[in-house]
Structure 1
Amino acid sequence: MFSKADLTSCRRCHRTVRWTTSEAGKAFAVDPDPNEQGTTAVMRDVRGTLRSRRVSADRPLIPGERLMMPHAATCTPPARGATPPPRTPPRRAQPRANTFYAVLGVSRTADAMEIRSAYRRLARQLHPDTNPGAGDRFKAVTEAYAVLSDPTRRQVYDLTGRAPRPR
């Protein structure tokens, strides 16, 4: 239900919090772990957004919700003069180790002929008729070639780092 991607750092106390969206549409921080004494119900909606609401006698906890403590109840700023923990830099998209260029074994500056010859060489080696155990690798090579052989799809891939949607 919860993932590590939901966790961030509180700006006041620098502890880890989980940000949700309240019923009023505002950002609302809760402590990262479920808590029996908590007053906030948290669940992930159909769009994948973490939603939170206040639990009361009129609106008890329903299946799929976890009881959590609002972070405002436990947030204590560091003492004056205390040095805050080092701030981590914002996360940037890391280049994937398994990029399409690495799959084909070519450099980012490879031209169309290099890409085509690398694909053909790998296709002969990995085709399921000649190598029954390499079906998944063959699919990855074929997908990489489909993106890198089309100049517009390759440009989108180079800019975003993601394969563009098939047409």
Structure 2
Amino acid sequence: MSAPNQAWVSDITYLWTDEGWLYLAGIKDLFKGELVGYAMSERMTRSLVMQALFSAVSLKRPPAALIVHSDRGAQYCSRHYRDLTKQFGMTMSMSRKGDCYDHAPMKSFWGSLKNELVYHCRFATRAEARQAVTECIEIFYNRQRKQARLGYLSPAAFTQQFNKMRLAA
């Protein structure tokens, strides 16, 4: 990818709270490594992934023909989700059967989130977990956490640098 909002990758994970499971659907921009959209729910449904997509689109306003990649989970295969991507002018991409490497950048994010936050906390409520995950994404991961792939810049700093270079050209 040579610019933001050309290809996004999406996936779902979960974490445990004393109230039960909390499912997280996320969408990551492959160019800048930023988590551009996410949603959380106590159920893993098509509504969850649709909320994450709405979140990403409302924040980033991507151009038509953006590629949005996922695995072959039922949520992503649903007619409602496919219709939503068409409505946004997106091109859907799905992993080949049995190939989990296509959306590895999203799996890597989930691993970072769990290693840096989830495994060190015990969440009494889903609301407490939602708050902690939101803070981790919005305050730390997207704005402060440096990524080797981005020249040891955070996604926000990398995007700022990219925009400055694009304006200077």
Structure with greater Cα Rg = 1
Instruction: Give your verdict on TM over 0.5.
Output: no
What TM-score results when the alignment is normalised by the length of structure 1?
Answer: 0.22
What TM-score results when the alignment is normalised by the length of structure 2?
Answer: 0.22
